[in-house]
Structure 1
Amino acid sequence: MSADNIGFALLLLGVLLLVAKLVRVKWRLAQRLFLPGSIIGGAIALLLGPDVFGNIASALGTDRFTEGGLFGSDIQQVWSSLPGLLISVVFAGLFLGQKMPKMREAGRLAGPQIAFGLTLSSGQYVVGLLLALLLLSPVFGLPPLSGALIEIGFEGGHGTAAGLGNTFSEVGFPAGQDLALGMATIGLISGIVLGIVLINWGVRSGRTTQLRSDATPSVAERMGLVEKENRRAAATLTVHPSSIEPLALHFGLLAVAIIIGQLLLWGLQALENMLWVETIEIFGYVPLFPLAMLGGILLQFVIDRFDRAQIVDRLMIERIQGFALDMLIIAALGTLSLEVIANNIVPFLLLAGCGLIWCAGAFLLLAPRMLPDHWFERGIGDFGQSMGVTATGLILMRIADPELRTPAYPAFGYKQLIVEPFFGGGLVTASAIPLIAQFGAVPLLIVMAVLLVAALLTGLLYFGRRPAPSTPETALTRQD
């Protein structure tokens, strides 16, 4: 793998992103589905890869493209290595540049949201593990590890699925990454499509509080463009470029967060080796990215304490995260093995179908009873995230609450600070695979079932019975 190959592979990802953006602007279906450019670009890369273009070329009489497709095996090798690196950049910046709220403040607003979010996340494990133990393992021969694929693919998304590639390989289930990536793709598209269907149903049935039947996204929003009158700066210059390039400064902060995460991981691995020698090995399989997130949290506490000049710009961090995530998704989808999914198509569809039923059922049946006010606007964000990524939830909330008049956004944000370190790519997601490999699926199933029951009871019997706020901004007559 030469430096030229690495550089050219990165350039190709940039070209694919531009082509994908043009497709989004011109293709009506992509606009209706609000498909991100990275997903479109990844689909293009997949179609031009060995499993599609290579097989078509082979059927036409040439084996030149069998190994690497149109791009070649060297480019495919670079792309397959990128997700595990870039996911740490994404997670290291999750909390950088935003002030850590007081627990009491976050809990008061986000308590119901946390209960509902934990219900969705733990429920995905319960549904997946039960399906694996009762059907996938005894009938289709898949390992119990397959029970974690719903949460990894749906709640975690493409970045988490790609970032766990080495972990899947080390525990003897290399097909898990391809299945998780396929699950993430199904979840993302289904989340957006079903989310828009649910919003239309909510408008027609009067369950939305801010949206009426005549409110639709603008043409520019569907094309993924920002109208001139609504454009704002993508980031803020907090230091003078003559001293240091602001982008370089923020990249350095992300680098520090990742290094802190790596030191934490090495420390935990050393501690594990000292205590259990070779009888138990968990942190040896845990990837870097959830520890990089903890590194970012620790670094942000230091920044809150000493950064009087407020030089850390959240928007700049988000731009770096967005760039890394777009590149990650295209690289991951471009190296996805369709053969693995085809060989496990029935278990794959069972997992995806059960995950979809759980998320949709939780939104329709539990959200009205667990969220005391504006349940539709608040619940649709968690539904979108549980099916795809955070961006999916934000898109659906923006459609349902275009003027940001409900408490959906701050509640969702505070919930992220509490739930994100554990689920959706956090410590629980990262450790689930090695835990199942070491102890089996039943102990994790019991823990997740207990958490599910606790979250349900808290949401239904405590938060769900609290009266809705009486302020003009948040008052609402509950609709069940």
Structure 2
Amino acid sequence: MIESVEEGEIVITFMIAFGLASIMLCAGMIIRTKVSFISRMLVPASVIAGVLGLIVMNTGLITSVDAQMYVDIVTFLFTVTFISIGLTRNPKSKSSNSVGKSIAKGSIGLGFLWNLIYALTPAVGAIIIIGIGGFFGMNPVYGLLIPFAFTQGPGQSATFGSIMEQQYGIANAATVGVTFAALGFLLCFLVGVPLARYGIKRGLAKNMGSSKIEDFVERGYYVKDEKRNTLGNETMFSGNIDTMTFHFAIIGLCFLLALGMSEIVSFIPGVGSTFSGMLFIYGMLAGYLVKFIMKKWRIDNMLDNTFQSKITGWSTDYLIVASFMAVPFSVIGKWMIPIITVTIVVMLLSVIICIYFGQRMGGENDFERTIGLYGTVTGTVPSGIALVRIIDPSLRTSTAVELGLMNLPMVASFVTVSTIMAIASGALSMSLGILLLLAPIPIYLIVLKVFKVWGAKTYDFRSESGSEVERLKRATAE
């Protein structure tokens, strides 16, 4: 009886959390519509809602739900998002083989660029605090938390910060970590949204249809009788089972398959515990598997591609809001200047690296990759996908899939994690540790060259007419 009461309370708490996030989304939509500056900047309602939720959750007015519930919601929706991506058919191309090669190439490129930034930023963070931290009584070891926060989000920054606190006696490490994460989320959208908007104006967002920003894009919704996209087609007779019910049933099936895959992987000696935690990867693989089986049975038409992409959008919107509301924004006042300094410098480095290499990955969706990578290295994969949706609303490119699969080459970052923890434990000196953090970067650059994801420009931010490739095509046609 006691257990059932507790379970009931958890369900009620979950629904309250869901309701609060929904209120924030409604408020975000109103603000997006009524505040002209925000409308012109194309800030998604989910981002506005997330910022509102962040403020509300940290006022102390909400006592029925804590940040941990939103952490759990983020974990759940993260997996659902990638299941839905896996169930969505690949974009049409001349050959499915070319699509696979493009996805593999993009995933490797994005993954190793993420590794590069992951290795560079802790060294930069430590060096900055060595330079100015002494004036504020801040140990350089806190600068090592920046990659967990910026490239992995509040969950990982809190986890590794807690390890530093409990095992190595580094006070307030978790608080500093989540502070970095919150600031990273804000800069993700404060910088990423204008970059996306700038690219739309330059004609780089091919899936927007036009370089002109239409009224409904800026407004954020359609008015009566305005031309709009469909939500998809019915695939089921509603007297039997509703089309939406069927799609979510398949997602539930894939979720259980993902849990099974994760459990099997956990038995692998040595690395099992690490790899089993990547539930979203198994979710996407389960989606691919189910889609493959349905295709073999010739029933894949039961899944409508357009409607499936809308489910991906639904889960991403709530995921962004929950990610903000999961951050306890308690900040150590006397360290704010070094924290903000590290944050701004790392953001600038991230922008430079993402734009420079993003222009040279050699794919038709390089602009989408650039925006998605920036969102990922300053927040999480879902925040990267949220930015991509600004320029590719229906996720017609393979960028979202690549952002999921990039987690496989990201395994190489284990070297950086080991180095950071060795410095935090005192096993490595700070100076030697910084050198070891920077050591893998030349290897990552070589990998980018070998896999041909560092070549000539495919687009140029300075060009009004879009990419060099597109200009050549037009010139040839004329």
Q: What TM-score do you get using the length of structure 2 for normalisation? A: 0.72
Q: Which residue of 2 aligns with 1:327?
A: 318
C-alpha distance after superposition, 1:365-399 (max 9, x if no partner): 45555548x8xxx543222212222242342468x
C-alpha change, 1:143 and 1:171, in structure 2 (3 Å) is farther
Higher mean Cα deviation, 110-119 or 256-265?
110-119
Q: Give the CA RMSD over aligned residues.
A: 4.3
Go from structure 1 to structure 2 and tell me whether the alpha carbon gap of 1:198 and 1:92 turns closer, same or farther (over 3 Å shift): closer
Which of the numbers 464, 472, 475 marks the counterpart of 2:473? 475
Residues 170-213 of structure 1: CA deviation (Å, up to 9, x unaligned): 7456444553343123112211124435666x58xxxx6989xx
Report how far residue 338 of structure 1 moved: 2.0
Q: CA deviation at 1:108?
A: 6.5
Pairing 1:104–2:112 present: no
1:38 is matched with which residue: 33, 46, 54? 46
Post-superposition offset of 1:19: 1.7
Which amino acid is the alignment partner of residue 387 of structure 2? T
**Residues 179, 330 of structure 2: 8 Å contact kept:** no
Instruction: State whether structure 2 residue 181 is matched by structure 1 residue 180.
Output: yes
Give the number of equivalent residue pairs: 419
1:219 pairs with 202, 215, 221, which one?
A: 215
Which residue in the other structure is 2:348 paired with?
357
Q: Do structure 1's residue 26 and structure 2's residue 48 form an aligned pair?
A: no
- Secondary structure in 2 aligned to 1:271? coil
Equivalent-residue separation in structure 2 for 1:288 and 1:415 (angstroms): 20
Which region of structure 1 is more displaced relative to structure 2, 101-110 or 35-44? 101-110
Do the aligned partners of residues 474 and 260 (structure 1) sit closer, same or farther apart at CA in structure 2, a change above 3 Å counting? farther
Displacement of 1:31: 0.6
Q: Tell me how far 1:91 sits from its aligned partner.
A: 1.7
Aligned to 1:5: 13
For residues 120 and 144 of structure 1, do their structure 2 counterparts lie closer, same or farther at Cα, with a shift above 3 Å needed?
A: same
Compared with structure 1, are the counterparts of its residues 476 and 336 closer, same or farther at alpha carbon in structure 2 (3 Å cutoff)?
same
Are the equivalent residues in 2 in contact too, given 1:99–1:304 (CA < 8 A)? Answer: no
1:122-137 correspondence to structure 2 within 5 Å: 122-132=115-125, 134-135=127-128
Counterpart of 2:247 (choices 245, 250, 254) is 250
Q: 3-state SS of the aligned residue for 2:274?
A: coil
Give the corresponding residue for 1:395. 390
After superposition, what is the alpha-carbon deviation per residue over 1:198-229, rounded to whole angstroms, capped at 9, x for unaligned? Answer: 666x58xxxx6989xx9641332111113534
Q: What is the match of residue 114 of structure 2?
A: 121
Q: How does 1:262-281 map to 2 (within 5 A)?
A: 262-272=259-269, 276=270
Shift of 1:238: 0.7
- Which residue, out of 23, 29, 33, partners 1:15? 23
For the pair 1:239 / 2:236, whether they are aligned, the reply is: yes
Q: CA deviation at 1:116?
A: 5.6
Partner of 2:372: 385
In structure 1, how many angstroms separate the alpha carbons of the residues matched to 2:51 and 2:81? 21
Query: Does 74-83 or 435-444 show the bigger shift?
Result: 435-444
Q: Secondary structure at the match of 2:52?
A: helix
Return the alpha-carbon distance in structure 2 between the equivalents of residues 344 and 285 of structure 1. Answer: 36
Unmatched segments (≥5 aa) in structure 2: 1-5, 131-137, 165-172, 376-383, 423-432, 459-466
CA contact (8 A) 2:86 2:287 kept: yes
Conserved in 2, the CA contact under 8 Å of 1:96 and 1:296?
Answer: yes
SS in 1 for 2:322: helix
> In structure 2, do the counterparts of structure 1 residues 396 and 355 end up closer, same or farther at CA, with 3 Å as the change threshold?
farther
Separation in 2, partners of 1:313, 1:189: 34
Number of the residue aligned with 1:230: 227
**In the superposition, relative to structure 1, how do residues 17 and 195 fare at CA in structure 2: closer, same or farther (>3 Å)?**
closer
Residues 1:105 and 1:215: Cα distance change in structure 2 (over 3 Å): closer
* Aligned ranges 1:448-463 → 2 under 5 Å: 449-456=442-449, 458-459=451-452
Partner Cα separation in structure 2 for residue 313 and residue 370 of structure 1: 31
Give 3-state SS (helix, strand or coil) of 1:338's partner.
coil
**C-alpha distance 470-438 of structure 1, shift in aligned 2 (>3 A):** closer
1:142 matches 2:142? yes
SS in 2 for 1:217: coil
Q: Please tell me whether residue 283 in structure 1 is matched to residue 271 in structure 2.
A: no
What is the match of residue 420 of structure 1?
403
Residues in 1 aligned to 2:23 and 2:388: alpha-carbon distance in whole angstroms: 28
Contact 2:385 2:400 (8 Å CA) reproduced? no
Name the CA distance, whole Å, in 2 between partners of 1:367 and 1:6: 39
Once the two structures are TM-superposed, the CA of residue 70 in structure 1 deviates from its matched residue by 2.4
CA 253–355 in structure 1, closer or farther in 2 if over 3 Å, else same = farther
* 1: CA distance, partners of 2:158 / 2:258: 17
Aligned partners of 1:246, 1:437: CA distance in 2, in Å? 48
Return 294-303 or 251-260, whichever deviates more.
294-303
Q: Secondary structure at the match of 1:339?
A: coil
Looking at structure 1, the residues matched to 262 and 333 of structure 2 have their Cα atoms a distance apart, in angstroms, of 36
Letter of the structure 2 residue corresponding to residue 420 of structure 1: L
Cα drift, residue 83 of structure 1: 1.4
- The worse-fitting range, judged by mean Cα deviation, of 111-120 and 285-294 is 111-120
Contact 2:115 2:413 in 1 (8 A): no
Tell me the distance in 1 between the aligned counterparts of 2:287 and 2:187. 30
CA contact (8 A) 1:41 1:330 kept: yes
- Aligned equivalents of 1:106, 1:240: Cα separation in 2: 33
TM-score, scaled relative to structure 1? 0.71
